Amino acid sequence: MYTIHFKFEQKGLEPVTIDNIAGGQSILEVAEENNIELHHNCGMVCACSTCHLYLEKGEQHVAELTDKEEDFIDRARNPKIESRLGCQCVLNDGGSGRIEVTIPDQSLIHGE
């Protein structure tokens, strides 16, 4: 099982840690289930950049970055070396470990 520690760039939001997360779901899905705001305009099919986040630790626990994902990250606001798309960060089945994520300020993103 995984633990995901979410931090937020938006002022006033305290970090949140979610434990006992099973593999097979994306970081975006985990965020959604736990009422953590992260836009997803394309419906989680790697065709937008609104689910952009920073994967600070634990990249070995999620699906590898693809060329398509990289293309959309280039269009995100303020991309960095640790940028990923939340819908594409699917947790490895059967694994365990700690993941740390920073969510960009969602108030600056037009999305659903």
- The whole-angstrom separation of Cα 36 and Cα 66 is 25
In angstroms, give the least distance from the CB of 64 to ligand FES. 16
Alpha helix segments (H runs only) across 21-101: 27-33, 67-74
**In the set 19, 22, 34, 47, which binds ligand FES (CB under 6 A)?**
47
Both structure tokens of 66: 């693809």
Q: CB atoms < 10 A from the CB of 88, how many?
A: 22
Task: Please list every residue from 53 through 92 that binds ligand FES, using CB under 6 A.
Answer: 72, 85, 87
Interface with ligand FES (CB under 6 A), residue from 44, 63, 73, 109 = 44
> Which residues are near ligand FES by CB under 6 A?
40-42, 44, 46-48, 50-51, 72, 85, 87
